[in-house]
Amino acid sequence: MKKLALPFAILIAGALQGCSTGPQWFRHKDPTSCHEQGSDGWWAEKAALPPGVRQTHKKGKIWPARPRSTQPRQQFSHTYYSEHYWPLPYSCQDRESVGIFMDTQTALGWQEETTIYDRHFDSSTEQLTRSGELHLEYILHVVPSERRAVYIQSTHDPVLDGIRTDSVNAAMARLSPGGCEVQVSIRDCQQFGRPAAEVQEINTLYNSTTPTPRLGSASGAAAVSGGAAGP
């Protein structure tokens, strides 16, 4: 009898050893995974599941009412791990996503800042105006080197875009002789704002229509104040 008990115990220990998913007799294929249950690939796949309760349908209602994951539940060991180290690594992922958004917005903002728009070119010759040269000078000497690039608003005409590019390159050679090369590229965009000449004209018209102030004389003001103070 003792000779039979020892091999049986070894068989039980071998079935349980190295497998956290249960004895071989009770294991079944996981329909939610393409890996063999208990394998390294299977555990790696289960480790990526999000923590928390799962959303289900009960009696025509969604439980819980707030949005929740519908993926398979975490393994018990992974649930313990998530609760022990919470909110890691999810707080790190949130910070990384916010950083990506901020970097994207910053890059787009500098792209707007370093774009030469239609208002910076003469409408008849497509050459840079004085305001365009000042904006180009700002890009070459003020914008940080890691953000320094020149974008030209496209006219959707290759010939006109070429004329604008040549004008910008010539102005760069004149404004920054011997300086480092700056990339010039055509950009499909829409300009925001008004040309400086248009803004000046609006201000001139506004000032010309301002009514002249009408102030009463000192004697009239004194009479009014004296009458108000009388009985």
Phi, psi values for residue 17, rounded to 5°: -70, 135
Beta strand pairing status for 150-153 and 61-63? unpaired
pLDDT bracket for residue 226 (50, 70, 90): low
Average of pLDDT values for 17-26?
47
| Residue 116: half-sphere exposure toward Cβ, Cα within 13 Å | 34
Beta-sheet strands, E only, within 46-103: 56-58, 61-63
Look at residue 19 in the predicted model and tell me its pLDDT.
Answer: 46
pLDDT bracket for residue 96 (50, 70, 90): very high
Report the SS3 class of residue 103.
helix
Average of pLDDT values for 36-47?
90
Can you give the pTM of this predicted structure?
0.57
Tokens representing 218 are 């000192």
User: pLDDT tens digits for 162-211?
Assistant: 999 999 999 999 988 777 788 999 999 988 777 777 888 899 999 888 88
CA dist 51 to 37, 39, 95, Å? 20, 21, 19
Report the SS3 class of residue 27.
coil
The yes-or-no verdict on residue 35 having pLDDT over 50 is yes
Average of pLDDT values for 202-223?
76
